[in-house]
Chain A
């Protein structure tokens, strides 16, 4: 339908719209009008994605000055889903706006790594992302192509036609046909308007003989909608080469952004293990060798580099082969625009510098005690011990990338360890605040096995987000679970113009959250540290699952607080015979840390649910399953959250971060921990409701959920359905509630219910005339 929203014509591809979608659009539009950032929470299953797309593309149409829509997703499947919905929307819009040139057609594309886009027959077969990148570089680096071009020209003058075939191997130098095709087409290589998913891009590339990856990168400048991963926006290493060119007027959307602070932190954190350092040492040896060889073969090249560094050209990007790799890990605003200091301009000197730094790190890692330092202390120690100063460290990364390019190294995947070390050095050198350097000689869980890790951990999520907020006019952060919503602006340190949490209008009470605090024997249940080992508690948890599997049909998902606790409790349940009892009703599948195993378990879980056998999936909060896998419809008729999924509070990194949050943002430790735990729990239980036609039980099995500090942090759309009577149940009462609920939900229900939970075009027109939804709330009913 097409309707008027405060003067903006919105194209929405469905006949009816939910009231909350309408409210969401209204809020979003006001935020865009105010040119500010906004934070919007709306439950999953209410068509958030299509609402966003529909409003923003309509807004773009009406306001030509608004730039691209940059839509950030977490995973490739999510990206595909967004593009599919967009395609539907565009198809619908074409009915009103027509097709062909001049009809405001949209170009939308998904962008991903080479791993997902490469169509080179050999390179695309490579296993990991790094090896595909390296494989690509081997074929497309500028010096490789120059050399091939030289050989071709020599070949044509000497031998005639034989080297003239443009693609494939020229002599022994191999090039990528597709890249060459794209290069030849130059600026002419354009995508016609339309919506391109990753596979569409690959098909298009194959048809025209153009490289889809570079085509997509090239077309970003012309696209109206770009869908890509969070990293491309947040991680400075990636965003500098991909997102630098984007104009200020762009609208940036972060979908499923409840974990955005963790993504930000990861983007600026570096972990070094013992193996990394060893490999970095080997890298250094290799580099020294090639420097020596280069010096013998072509001393002029190294000299040229030296001269360039003296002139400070590196900062201006005039470096040959300045393609998109090895970008600085620090944020753009913090990158120093000075010439490289004299003590590392020479390649040999730089090698020496790296050797010293590496030795220092190795030395640090040999320490048998856990240490936690601020960057200043670390730098001071560095200065004392090996005479390396912070200023030089800052340039480490740029210097290394310059060197690798000068030496014409293409197999970059081999040099990842030394790059990590350089990352570390640059970050330590650049930031004095908001970081901690933590050294753990062994894993806390296995103190007898030495496994030293040196971590440079970012403590401040706002650091990575700051350039995004300051660069772009409107940033939209949205998810199904952003509660408590006022905490996010503080953690990310920004001022939203709109903060809003939307409710789901339902035609029936299709979610039934309950808090189970006691077992059938009235003993309290909790995963509190003092209680979790108690066999009584474990048995009560087991009984809960047994009783539940007897009354809930098809799939049940159970989340535990950690792998360790899950292992422990499953072993206990086995001894108590609880697993066998569950098996009488349902099959049991368990998530493990192995991805392949888990995928297989999930697959069989789905089959068991499909064929009516019924199954229980035991999983872990914060695990892969809790974050990305949906248990909609019959795959999840009930979800149990055993305990409150607190982070491992003894972790040094968490301690450091909590301290930092307290000092900088005045966020109390307990508040943050509870917030984080409850958001994970909400994520887990939210897995079962994926649409309005769906229904499911949500069982919080811990007495601590009864307390206000936990309950208030749950998203409103869950708490609204949490009845007063369901907040303090024992297992047998819960079973009774479940039975009644499932019976009631099994009754046929009228999907239509037009007017109550769906608004038609006419109803919207009336609303608009009456002055908005709040002014005439009853008009829609």
Chain B
């Protein structure tokens, strides 16, 4: 589940309109920043690049890469200058084709355009470029802010993308963030392929010591070591700057794949469930010494005390994983399902 997404922000004349607060561009840039963070949060292995449309041209701001903060820093209204001229959808499509064409075929290739303008001023026929996108399996999606433009509707339909027009700021945010979860896989991309990846260990040096890390040789106190060439890298996920191996950690992988293999939902604990679970759990090795609690029950995630199901004066709702039969508190349930995408009980080998 690897996505390559080119985000194109419209900075034509229309982006200076003030129907969104404070104006369209500022609003869009702000939302794009949160979109990029959300995107990498949901798809840690994916890559994203940014371009802007202005004066009938498309300017590439960043190459495709996997680090959110570098991208977010580029999307600053002060540095970008003011909106001007026309927007050209065709140039955006052409850029996406040239950038995304050479990427490995197992990834999703996507173009997301945030379109303020109501017209596209193109050097040629935009529909030809749309065909090229389709031929290269690029999925074009458009988020409009003003009104429905026929050509956008047509291109998105042809390439299998989505088209939404925002009613207001909140709706625009919804539309944008909807693109952070990956699209359904198309049959053309369904073939399986093996990708080599490394899972580096975090080096456990003393907190006070520091080493030179990464390409820029920054002095950092913690780092990861590439399992193949033993180079030190500062953060995950990234590509090793020496051997080019993709370096990630297991939670990243889990987050990327949670759309495919979601953690089974926890159910509210009840007396019957607790009895059934006790029968299963008794046969398993304990993870560590039981946590002594007054109620005799604790959350498997945070080890906090929770009340027994059905007990009088139950304070917290408790939940139980259907697979590993462990008890979780409400907060851990949210954390597991919304961010971690791994059930600690199941990972521990409960089943």
Contacts and interface: CB of A to CB of B under 8 A. Distances in A.
B172 to A, nearest CB: 11
Contacts of B120: 611-613
18 contacts: A552-B147, A553-B118, A553-B147, A611-B127, A611-B151, A612-B89, A612-B126, A612-B149, A612-B150, A612-B151, A612-B152, A614-B119, A739-B19, A739-B146, A743-B146, A743-B147, A743-B165, A746-B148
Interface string A723-761: 000000000000000010011111110000000000000
Contacts of A554: 118, 149-150
B122 to A, nearest CB: 7
Nearest to B149: A553
Given A552-B147, A611-B125, A613-B121, 16 more contacts: A550-B14, A550-B118, A551-B118, A552-B118, A553-B147, A553-B148, A584-B13, A610-B150, A611-B120, A612-B126, A612-B151, A614-B119, A633-B150, A634-B150, A746-B148, A748-B164
A553 B167 contact: no
A614 B167 CA distance: 22
A618 to B, nearest CB: 18
B178 to A, nearest CB: 13
A745 B148 contact: yes
A747 B143 CA distance: 12
Chain B contact residues: over half helix, strand or loop, or mixed? loop
Interface in B294-326: none
Chain A contact residues: over half helix, strand or loop, or mixed? helix
Contacts of B119: 553, 585-586, 612-614
Instruction: Return the 6 tightest CB-CB contacts between A and B, nearest first.
Output: A612-B151, A634-B150, A746-B165, A746-B148, A742-B147, A614-B119
Interface in B166-188: 166-167
A614 B122 CA distance: 12
Interface in B99-151: 118-122, 125-127, 144, 146-151
A609 interface: yes
Nearest to A741: B147
A120 to B, nearest CB: 42
A747 B149 contact: no
A60 to B, nearest CB: 42
Contacts of A748: 164
Interface of B: 13-14, 19, 89, 118-122, 125-127, 144, 146-152, 164-167
A744 B166 CA distance: 9
A748 B120 CA distance: 22
Contacts of B166: 743
Contacts of A585: 118-119
A585 B147 CA distance: 14
A586 B148 CA distance: 15
Interface in A570-594: 584-586
Number of chain A interface residues as a range:
20 to 34
Contacts of A745: 147-148
Nearest to B17: A550
A610 B120 CA distance: 11
A584 B121 CA distance: 10
A436 to B, nearest CB: 50
Nearest to A634: B150
A550 to B, nearest CB: 8
Interface string A139-159: 000000000000000000000
Contacts of A637: 147
Contacts of B89: 612
Contacts of A553: 118-119, 146-150
Interface string A549-562: 01111100000000
Contact of A609 (B144, B148, B150, B164): B150
Contacts of B13: 584
Nearest to A739: B19
A631 to B, nearest CB: 13
Nearest to B86: A584
A650 to B, nearest CB: 42
Contacts of A586: 119
A174 to B, nearest CB: 50
A551 to B, nearest CB: 7
Interface in A212-226: none
B167 A747 contact: yes
Contacts of B167: 743-744, 747
A584 B87 CA distance: 11
A609 to B, nearest CB: 7
Nearest to B124: A611
Given A552-B118, A585-B118, A586-B119, A611 B165 contact: no
B331 to A, nearest CB: 36
Interface string A612-645: 1110000000000000000001100100000000
Nearest to B128: A611
A609 B118 CA distance: 11
A614 B146 contact: no
A745 B147 CA distance: 8
A310 B149 CA distance: 75
A586 B119 CA distance: 8
Contacts of A610: 127, 150-151
Nearest to B168: A743
Interface in A41-55: none
A743 B169 CA distance: 13
B151 A746 contact: no
Nearest to B85: A584
A220 to B, nearest CB: 44
Contacts of A744: 167
Contact of A746 (B14, B125, B144): B144
Nearest to B127: A611
Contacts of B127: 610-611
Nearest to A740: B167
Contacts of A739: 19, 146-147
B122 A551 contact: no
A747 B165 contact: yes
A551 B89 CA distance: 18
B152 to A, nearest CB: 7
A551 B18 CA distance: 12
Nearest to A587: B119
Contacts of B150: 553-554, 609-610, 612, 633-634
